[in-house]
Amino acid sequence: MPELPEVETVRRGVEPHVLGRRVLRAVVREPRLRWPVPPEFAGWIEGRRIVATERRGKYLLLRLESADADAPDRLIVHLGMSGRLFVLTAPEPLRKHDHLDLELEGGVLLRYHDPRRFGAVLPWPAAQGRHPLMETMGPEPFSADFHGDYLFERARGKSAAVKTFLMDGGVVVGAGNIYAAESLFRAGIRPTRPAGKVTRAEYVRLAERVREVLAEAVEQGGTTLRDFAGADGRSGYFQQDLYVYGREGEPCRVCGSAIRSLRLGNRQSCYCPRCQR
């Protein structure tokens, strides 16, 4: 499933093509996505200008022109497990699973493609207030609210493994399985350590490594596994720089020890037995 870096890559790819353009027409071919596209969707978005692209966790947000800049309407795009958002500037034959088009000014077409239909395209009117999909989300990893002291305080008394704790979207958004594994390796913390037993100093280091890993992944276009590709259709390549994820049995790039693997919360968790304590 696309994580924060992948969605941020899509946002950056889409932005220069859609910013300032008005939606001339919306075509919904298949409304039965993870959350159905409402029947009034086309009437709601047609004629609206896209004034900003944003991201909250794994959700891409298109901010729409509004009389009240402090209470904007937004469009939510969630890529699910196999969703892609393509920017087309020339006629392109329809393919199976091309579920929704936004025809924009200047001959630009924004096309949502999703074979598994686990994603979504949803209106978010300002009048709705806080959206239920985002009510319980933790801070963004690049925000001032995310730091080592915050993690330390949130972890007090928790016996869950620190990797499970870090992957909790209510604690911080964006630290999915791959990025949590890589961040813990760089911080020298074994994924099985109880979250409540990690020291404040270690959490300070871990918060820094989370930001570092995610920033590198964003700059390199994300980590492509299975179906993800950016808005231009190209794949990310951060997977070339992975230290532990998916490398069970291979030598550690730092110390040479064999990378080990175990399962935490039904997820594979790879780590170096020497570098991580």
CATH class, range 4-134: alpha beta
Is 116 assigned a ligand-binding role in the annotation?
yes
Per residue in 97-114, is it b (16+ CB within 10 Å) or e — as a string?
bbbbbbbbeeebbbbbbb
Task: Name the active-site residue from 49, 211, 260, 267.
Answer: 267
| Token reading at 176 | 């999915």
Q: Out of 29-38, 65-74, 126-135, 174-183, which region has the weakest mean confidence (pLDDT)?
A: 65-74
Q: Give the span between the Cα atoms of 127 and 22, in whole angstroms.
A: 21
Cβ 78 vs Cβ 58: under 8 Å? yes
242: three-class secondary structure by DSSP: coil
Predicted pLDDT of residue 222: 53
Average per-residue pLDDT for the chain = 91
3 given a catalytic annotation: yes
Predicted pLDDT of residue 223: 53
Predicted pLDDT of residue 238: 47
58 given a catalytic annotation: yes
Query: How would residue 72 be classed by pLDDT, with cut points 50, 70 and 90?
Result: confident
Q: Which helix (H) or strand (E) holds 41?
A: helix 41-45
Higher pLDDT, 117 or 67: 117
pTM for the whole thing?
0.87
Predicted pLDDT of residue 219: 85
Per residue in 203-215, is it b (16+ CB within 10 Å) or e — as a string?
bbbbbebbbebbe
Is 263 assigned a ligand-binding role in the annotation?
no
21 given a catalytic annotation: no
CATH architecture label of 148-271:
Orthogonal Bundle (1.10)
- What would the pLDDT profile of 16-55 be if each residue is shown by its tens digit? 999 999 999 999 999 999 999 999 999 999 999 999 999 9
Burial zone of 217 (CB within 10 Å; 0-12 exposed, 13-18 middle, 19+ buried): buried
Query: How would residue 239 be classed by pLDDT, with cut points 50, 70 and 90?
Result: low
Task: Name the active-site residue from 3, 6, 103, 182.
Answer: 3
Cβ 148 vs Cβ 206: under 8 Å? yes
Statement: residue 225 has pLDDT above 50: no
- What would the pLDDT profile of 2-11 be if each residue is shown by its tens digit? 788 889 989 9
Mean pLDDT within 242-265:
95
Mean pLDDT within 47-76:
90
Helix 4-18 to helix 200-219 angle, to the nearest 10 degrees? 40
**Residue 77 phi, psi (nearest 5):** -120, 120
State the DSSP code for 248: T
In sequence order, the 6+-apart residues with CB closer than 8 A to the CB of 37 are 28, 31, 100, 120, 121, 122
Q: Give the span between the Cα atoms of 34 and 119, in whole angstroms.
A: 5
Predicted pLDDT of residue 233: 53
Q: How far apart are the first and last CA of the chain?
A: 29
Statement: residue 224 has pLDDT above 70: no
- What would the pLDDT profile of 131-168 be if each residue is shown by its tens digit? 999 999 999 999 999 999 999 999 999 999 999 999 99
Residue type, 128: Q
- pLDDT over 70, % of the chain: 92
Task: Name the active-site residue from 2, 5, 72, 141.
Answer: 2
Is 96 assigned a ligand-binding role in the annotation?
no
Task: Name the active-site residue from 11, 58, 63, 163.
Answer: 58
Query: How would residue 57 be classed by pLDDT, with cut points 50, 70 and 90?
Result: very high
- Side-chain half-sphere of 192: how many Cα atoms within 13 Å? 13
Residue 24's CB: how many other CB atoms inside 10 A?
A: 14
- Where along the chain do its domains lie? 4-134, 148-271
267 given a catalytic annotation: yes
